[in-house]
Amino acid sequence: MAEETLVKESLTDRMIEAGAELTRTLDGAHWPVVASLWFFESETNQWRLILASPAVSEKGPLEAYRHVNDALRASMPTLALDAISVVSPDDPLIRVLTAAYQTGSDIKGRRVFRSAINGRFVDDAYVYRLLPIAPAA
């Protein structure tokens, strides 16, 4: 009987550097980033760079992706837009992570590995920034 083994996709140093650089570029463009992190999606075996910004709620995701795409072209052309998700600060994942791991506005590097946070399992994440978020209305 054949057995299938799934090998977890690695988060590379290049990906870590690219995520930090993109976050810095967005900061420099005065586009508000309240959360920035790589998140491993075990269902797809892929890493996604998640950026949370109030601009997503205020102006919509299409406009947010335009800003991110402009920043990518200016700073990290090797990072693909399809590896990035822009979300509202009210996104459930962002709220769960922020409740457990807040950082300052500087870009940090903190690994969150195999953690259960408020009933949500996080297989693996690399956090640059998680700013405090006001309670949901």
Structurally, the chain folds into a number of domains equal to: 1
pLDDT tens digit string along 107-136? 888 999 898 888 888 999 999 999 987 665
Note down the domain range covering 21: 13-130
At 133 the pLDDT is 76
Any domain includes 136:
no
Q: How many CB atoms lie within 10 A of CB 134?
A: 7
pLDDT tens digit string along 85-98? 999 999 999 999 99
On the question of pLDDT at 5 being above 70, the answer is no
Report CA 15 to chain centroid distance, whole Å. Answer: 12
Any domain includes 39:
yes
Any domain includes 5:
no
Q: What is the pTM of this model?
A: 0.89
Any domain includes 65:
yes
Extract the tokens encoding 20.
């930090």
